[in-house]
Chain A
Amino acid sequence: MKFTLSWLKDHLETSASLDEIVQGLIGVGLEVEDVDDKTKLLAPFKVAYVQEASKHPNADKLRLCKVETEQGVIQAVCGAPNARTGMKGIVALPGAYIPGTKITLEKGMIRGQESQGMLCSERELMISQEHDGIIEVAGDWPIGTPAVTALGLDDPMIYVKVTPNRPDALGVRGIARDLAAKGLGKLKPLDAKPVPGTFNSPVRVSLDFPGGDTKPCPLFVGRYFKGLKNGPSPEWLKRRLKAIGLRPISALVDITNYITFSYGRPLHVFDAAKVTGNIRARMAKEGEQIVALDGKTYQLTSEMTVIADDENAEAIAGIIGGEASSCSEATTEVFLEAAYFDSLRTAATGRKLGIASDARYRFERGVDPEFTQTGAEIATRLILELCGGEASHPVVAGAVPDTARSYMLRASRVKALGGADIPLAEQVGILTDLGFGVKETKDGLSCAVPSWRPDVHSETDLVEEVCRIYGLDNIPFAEMTRDHPIARPVLNPLQKRMIAARRILASRGMNEAVTWSFIPEAQARLFGGGQPELKLANPISSELTDMRPSLLPNLIAAAGRNMARGFADLALSEVGHAYAGDRPQDETLRAVGIRRGQAVARNWQGGARAVDALDAKADALAVLEAAGAPVATMQIVAGAPAWYHPGRSGTIQMGPQNRLAHFGEIHPRVLAAMDVKGPVVGFEVVLNAVPASKSKSATRAALNASDLMPVSRDFAFVVNDDVEAEKLVKAAKSADRALIADVAVFDLFKLEGTTKSLAIEVTLQPRDKTLTDEEIEAVSAKIVGAVQKATGGSLRS
């Protein structure tokens, strides 16, 4: 919503400065987006008189002008074809900053002639794009008059962002009302004396709706004008419209626009000569067409309201007029429409047709129904004033819809919700200034809501009105109480796991990323997703169509992008959600990482080592341990989902029904499909699946450390290739659970045929006495026996 300061002052009697008004607007919730005050920018530019313009001696296209300025006569070289003797223009003297060229003017020599100033074009003053000639000042302005005054630019433009609940502020008068309530002046009385008609309108109006349900248009006020002349608007009207970015068209059109912006009341004028028969509001026929004022043809549906004559739809109600009955210079008879249209239907129609107009903008937010006739009267007076002619008696169909309602504002409520002690009299004053009908009762203030405030529906709305005008900046700060002198923990186990997972991965050298929750469908399918319920109906691009079933694809894609920038060795992680379905329980928090390239980069002490699946396993185990998973009882089994390498991947689980994590090499086919050069290893831990810690106490079990030296013994076994190391280690451990403290695999190599050698180091921890050789021999035999039994292998000789 744009308006100018003088326009505001038509409605507000005030001595407040522009800045005070701007601060007031911001305070009451009319956010000021921009103030265009040309008086400062154009201060150096003044009216000057061209005493003589002659040809430049050395250039055909330049002129030498003797210019009378308030600082005396100067010589200016000018290239404009319209520079001529006896004209008045706008001059800039050396030192002036020219906004259009962003240059500070200096004296100069142009083709051997001194130029002591510049006659300016509109573009140089940033008034318009006009640069074919210099500005010609019309009117009898004395030399030295500020350019802004002579050009009518001394009226600052204010642009406020109006929130959707405030249709009343889409008219200058509504804004003036807020400022008056704020104490920045007095709202001037509304000048809307009815203009008597001199004849009966030959056009009648009706509301033609099925079953007489006039909700789409409960009220239609019309007026017929004859003998008028539709020429250009007077200068003052053109200036105001131009100042807010509207193009003046003709007096009739400009008047409707002017009233739209002055009072938030859209109107329409039909060229009565082009209208057949009578005017009615009715539903459009399905498929009915109309060529609108924007020159486009619209296909209407039976959900839309139109204004029609006996034959055709002539306007889309509350949105845009039709071209067929539009006014032109030749128009001498018009029919004025001031109607009230249903906001929801107007919004739906505008949205469906894709038309954004000043009328739609207001009707869909809700115009003041009571103002329908008033608006018509103000328009009538302006039309007669600017175009002459005669006006008919008004013709009216329907009635003003009843929006009357009152709410009680209890004396305690402003204090209780707003936290400010605002005296009752001040509350009454604010509400009265805003147009509420306030009555003091024993229960509080009974407030009748004005017809222009469709947003007020409760006592809380009244509290809001009082607070926003009182000023939220004036509400005192109030300290919140603490429930506990020292803060208690606030994070739940999953949140703690999330933090732990992030930090453990960063400490392991991974760079944490945050990536889109949606991915291309092809990638979703590669990772087990692509279900119809996870597909966006209106994706922003074909790359962001499906909710991710896993966090791996984004990291793999990111690896590809980073490789293209020269980072071949990388480790990326993300802790975030994946989506298995569209129910809340289908969203799980995952900690995911990938590694690619060298785990240890090439260095002077040794060669590089490429990452492998067990690096990913180490990452997954580190996350699980940090997340508090029972690491000792987890099982690690071969195999993982299809996007992993079938032979180089594994699953970490608490039994087959509770899988905590997968890890391994990413399947080469998946990498090929994503055009990322592998191998890439990765893991994905489902943090939701980690069981909650069973221990409720912070107390640790007592330390049971032995002072006796541990003993270690090595065993090498020959086992079949398919025997898993974990099985052998577990068998060895089971040989004597009390004595065996640790079993570690320290060697593995392939033997001939289908066997391999797997060597373990067993650590024995004596508890109460040093072990004898016989005891060690006995345990060793048990270990060999247990391993043989479990794996079918034998001790390598």
Chain B
Amino acid sequence: MSLQALEQDVLGQVEAAADEAALESVRVAALGKKGSVSERMKGLGAMDPEQRKEAGAALNLLKDKVADAIAHRKAALQEAALEARLASEKIDVTLPARPEPRGTIHPVSQVWEEVVQIFGDLGFAVAEGPHIEDDFHNFTALNIPPEHPARQEHDTFYFNEKPDGSRMLLRTHTSPVQIRTMLTAKPPIRIIAPGRTYRCDSDMTHTPMFNQIEGLAIDETTHLGHLKWVLAEFCKAFFEVDDVKMRFRASHFPFTEPSMEVDINCSWEGGQVKIGQGSSWLEILGSGMVHPNVMKAGGIDPEKYQGFAFGMGLDRLAMLKYGIPDLRAFFEADLRWLRHYGFKALQVPTLPGGLS
């Protein structure tokens, strides 16, 4: 068989190979040790140098051609095989992924972080105090002596009397943290104190436990104008509005003087409250300049130092901002509620990223 005929024969077989196995047989039959091309290579040794040079070059050319053709055919076969496999591997992408439970953060926790972001930026640290308080921290030190009518208004939860006649109580507000802070820190003081508070009261809008946030700033110069500014800036930042109208009303609290209550403007549409628009007023907090008697109880000289305090409802802030209608549901651990009003684990409020 002429070299040309061999070439045609082998290349024809390569092209005809139906799969990689057949192709491998062709390769062995041509280029294997006893293959048709290899056998001819062996014949080169018997030729004279001139002949050998010429025939050798031709054989090498053939060998390369065959190898190339096999590689080419192999790639084509692999590609076809992959295509065939892929075509058989179709899945229904509409099938659900493996179930993973979605966790949530409670709105009170979320708002806790939001409030800390805002006041933290103004240099207010977060202070805490015990929930089971004594009479001194909850009342007396806050300028509420035993006979004061405010004690009755507070609907206090008490524990049983001790042998010495004293009895502990559940703090009715976060204000005792003011006293605990003053007794341990030196001015300048800037703190907020978010936490649980308790009153024996329960109806549509009251629960026996609720969350408050206290604020306290004491130094030598802070006055009512600063208080107004801080509250206004807080409201804008918290409710994420450019402007909010505020109404500052004189009021009375035993532990502040002068005292003021603060209303913000809002609208009520379809039962949903919108802050910063509309002509209704909504009371959101009580505040004032720390009463000199409170400063004295906290071991701070009211002639040298002065400052403000404020308190507002953390749950109420959450209700207003996120349109949550019922306070009682906050504490019922109803999964439907937790999942609906809760926040995602990675939805961390930050000032640069936004608070909601």
Q: Does A193 contact B (CB under 8 A)?
A: no
Contact among A478, A484, A508, A540 with B229 in the assembled complex (CB-CB below 8 Å): A478
Q: Please, what's the 1-or-0 string for B323-342, where 1 marks a CB less than 8 Å from any CB in chain A? A: 00000001111111011001
The interface-forming segment of B16-24, B30-38, B45-53, B255-263 is B255-263
**A511-B104, A534-B159 are contacts. A575–B109 as well, Cβ < 8 Å?**
yes
A residues less than 8 Å from B99 (CB atoms): 600-601, 603
B residues less than 8 Å from A504 (CB atoms): 345
Q: Which residue of B lies closest to A599 (CB)?
A: B101
Q: Does A86 contact B (CB under 8 A)?
A: no
Interface size on B, residues (CB 8 A): 91
Contact among A364, A417, A502, A562 with B149 in the assembled complex (CB-CB below 8 Å): A364
Contact among B147, B150, B168, B224 with A475 in the assembled complex (CB-CB below 8 Å): B224
Q: Please, what's the 1-or-0 string for A362-384, where 1 marks a CB less than 8 Å from any CB in chain B? A: 00110000000000000000000
Tell me which residues from 549 to 586 in chain A have a Cβ below 8 Å from any Cβ of chain B: 554-555, 558, 561-562, 565, 567, 569-573, 575-577, 579, 582-584, 586
Q: How far is the CA of A561 from the CA of B342 in the complex (A)?
A: 19
Q: How far is the CA of A488 from the CA of B225 in the complex (A)?
A: 24
Are B223 and A460 in contact, CB atoms less than 8 angstroms apart?
no
Contact among B102, B131, B223 with A587 in the assembled complex (CB-CB below 8 Å): B131
Q: Does B217 contact A (CB under 8 A)?
A: yes
Q: Does A420 contact B (CB under 8 A)?
A: yes
Tell me which residues from 580 to 631 in chain A have a Cβ below 8 Å from any Cβ of chain B: 582-584, 586-587, 600-601, 603-605
A residues less than 8 Å from B63 (CB atoms): none
Q: How far is the CA of A418 from the CA of B289 in the complex (A)?
A: 8
Q: Please, what's the 1-or-0 string for B244-263, where 1 marks a CB less than 8 Å from any CB in chain A? A: 00011111100001111100
A residues less than 8 Å from B274 (CB atoms): none
Are B257 and A490 in contact, CB atoms less than 8 angstroms apart?
no
Contact among B100, B129, B226 with A480 in the assembled complex (CB-CB below 8 Å): B226
Q: How far is the CA of A514 from the CA of B195 in the complex (A)?
A: 12
Are A605 and B98 in contact, CB atoms less than 8 angstroms apart?
yes
Report the minimal beta-carbon distance from A645 to chain B, rounded to whole angstroms.
23
Q: How far is the CA of A505 from the CA of B190 in the complex (A)?
A: 31
**A164-B150, A512-B106 are contacts. A480–B230 as well, Cβ < 8 Å?**
yes
The interface-forming segment of A261-269, A463-471, A655-663, A742-750 is A463-471
Are A27 and B250 in contact, CB atoms less than 8 angstroms apart?
yes
Are A490 and B124 in contact, CB atoms less than 8 angstroms apart?
yes
Q: Does A535 contact B (CB under 8 A)?
A: yes
Are B132 and A582 in contact, CB atoms less than 8 angstroms apart?
yes
A residues less than 8 Å from B344 (CB atoms): 506
Q: Does B291 contact A (CB under 8 A)?
A: yes
Q: How far is the CA of A604 from the CA of B209 in the complex (A)?
A: 44
The interface-forming segment of A34-42, A389-397, A491-499 is A491-499
**A490-B123, A491-B116, A538-B158 are contacts. A517–B200 as well, Cβ < 8 Å?**
no
Q: Does A507 contact B (CB under 8 A)?
A: yes
Q: How far is the CA of A517 from the CA of B209 in the complex (A)?
A: 8
Report the minimal beta-carbon distance from B347 to chain A, rounded to whole angstroms.
9
B residues less than 8 Å from A490 (CB atoms): 116, 119-120, 123-126
Tell me which residues from 118 to 172 in chain B have a Cβ below 8 Å from any Cβ of chain A: 119-126, 128-132, 147, 149-150, 152-153, 157-162, 167-168, 170
Q: How far is the CA of A728 from the CA of B346 in the complex (A)?
A: 38
Are B95 and A604 in contact, CB atoms less than 8 angstroms apart?
yes
B residues less than 8 Å from A460 (CB atoms): 257-258, 289, 291-292
Are B103 and A515 in contact, CB atoms less than 8 angstroms apart?
no
Are B338 and A511 in contact, CB atoms less than 8 angstroms apart?
yes
Report the minimal beta-carbon distance from A666 to chain B, rounded to whole angstroms.
16
B residues less than 8 Å from A348 (CB atoms): 147
Q: Does B2 contact A (CB under 8 A)?
A: no
A residues less than 8 Å from B217 (CB atoms): 480
**A163-B251, A533-B168, A575-B109 are contacts. A458–B292 as well, Cβ < 8 Å?**
yes
Q: Does A112 contact B (CB under 8 A)?
A: no
**A417-B224, A507-B103, A536-B158 are contacts. A587–B257 as well, Cβ < 8 Å?**
no
Q: Does A632 contact B (CB under 8 A)?
A: no
Q: Does A236 contact B (CB under 8 A)?
A: no
A residues less than 8 Å from B292 (CB atoms): 458, 460
Q: How far is the CA of A506 from the CA of B103 in the complex (A)?
A: 4
Q: How far is the CA of A517 from the CA of B121 in the complex (A)?
A: 31
Q: Which of A27, A475, A480 has the most CB of B within 10 A?
A: A480
A residues less than 8 Å from B162 (CB atoms): 533
B residues less than 8 Å from A537 (CB atoms): 157-161, 167
Report the minimal beta-carbon distance from B101 to chain A, rounded to whole angstroms.
3
Report the minimal beta-carbon distance from A546 to chain B, rounded to whole angstroms.
10
Q: Does B208 contact A (CB under 8 A)?
A: yes
Q: Which residue of B lies closest to A348 (CB)?
A: B147
Are B249 and A510 in contact, CB atoms less than 8 angstroms apart?
no
B residues less than 8 Å from A503 (CB atoms): 105, 345-346, 348
Q: Does B113 contact A (CB under 8 A)?
A: yes
Q: Does A509 contact B (CB under 8 A)?
A: yes
Q: Does A166 contact B (CB under 8 A)?
A: yes
B residues less than 8 Å from A347 (CB atoms): 147, 149
Tell me which residues from 476 to 493 in chain A have a Cβ below 8 Å from any Cβ of chain B: 476-480, 482-484, 487-492
Interface size on A, residues (CB 8 A): 102
Report the minimal beta-carbon distance from A595 to chain B, rounded to whole angstroms.
9
Are A547 and B132 in contact, CB atoms less than 8 angstroms apart?
yes
Are A478 and B225 in contact, CB atoms less than 8 angstroms apart?
yes
Q: Does A242 contact B (CB under 8 A)?
A: no
B residues less than 8 Å from A491 (CB atoms): 116, 120, 125-126
Are A540 and B101 in contact, CB atoms less than 8 angstroms apart?
no
Report the minimal beta-carbon distance from B179 to chain A, rounded to whole angstroms.
13
Q: Does B316 contact A (CB under 8 A)?
A: no
Tell me which residues from 63 to 92 in chain B have a Cβ below 8 Å from any Cβ of chain A: none
Q: Which residue of A lies closest to B161 (CB)?
A: A537
Q: How far is the CA of A517 from the CA of B339 in the complex (A)?
A: 22
Are B109 and A565 in contact, CB atoms less than 8 angstroms apart?
no
Are B103 and A514 in contact, CB atoms less than 8 angstroms apart?
no
Q: Which of A31, A537, A561, A572 has the most CB of B within 10 A?
A: A537
Q: How far is the CA of A572 from the CA of B229 in the complex (A)?
A: 40
Q: How far is the CA of A583 from the CA of B131 in the complex (A)?
A: 10
**A418-B224, A419-B226, A484-B123 are contacts. A513–B333 as well, Cβ < 8 Å?**
yes
Q: How far is the CA of A488 from the CA of B333 in the complex (A)?
A: 35
Q: Which of A455, A487, A505 has the most CB of B within 10 A?
A: A487
Q: Does A416 contact B (CB under 8 A)?
A: yes
Q: Which of A495, A540, A555 has the most CB of B within 10 A?
A: A540
Are B333 and A562 in contact, CB atoms less than 8 angstroms apart?
yes
Q: Does B228 contact A (CB under 8 A)?
A: yes
Q: Does A28 contact B (CB under 8 A)?
A: yes
Q: Does A26 contact B (CB under 8 A)?
A: yes
Q: Which of B162, B291, B344, B345 has the most CB of A within 10 A?
A: B345
Tell me which residues from 332 to 375 in chain A have a Cβ below 8 Å from any Cβ of chain B: 344, 347-348, 351, 364-365
Are A536 and B130 in contact, CB atoms less than 8 angstroms apart?
no
Q: Does B41 contact A (CB under 8 A)?
A: no
Q: Does B96 contact A (CB under 8 A)?
A: yes
Q: Please, what's the 1-or-0 string for A713-749, where 1 marks a CB less than 8 Å from any CB in chain B? A: 0000000000000000000000000000000000000
Q: List 28 A-B contacts (CB under 8 A).
A: A27-B250, A344-B147, A348-B147, A417-B224, A417-B289, A419-B223, A419-B225, A458-B292, A460-B258, A460-B289, A460-B292, A472-B249, A472-B250, A480-B222, A484-B123, A490-B120, A491-B125, A499-B113, A514-B333, A534-B132, A536-B157, A536-B158, A537-B157, A537-B161, A537-B167, A538-B158, A540-B200, A572-B338
Residues in B lying within 8 Å of A, measured CB to CB? 95-96, 98-106, 108-109, 113, 116, 119-126, 128-132, 147, 149-150, 152-153, 157-162, 167-168, 170, 188, 196, 198, 200-202, 208-209, 211, 217, 221-226, 228-230, 232, 247-252, 257-261, 289, 291-292, 306, 330-336, 338-339, 342, 344-346, 348
Contacts A164-B252, A464-B258, A483-B188 aside, 6 further interface pairs with beta carbons under 8 A come to A464-B259, A477-B229, A478-B228, A512-B342, A513-B106, A561-B334
**Pairs of residues from A and B, 5 with the lowest C-beta to C-beta distance, nearest first:** A419-B225, A29-B250, A509-B101, A478-B225, A468-B250
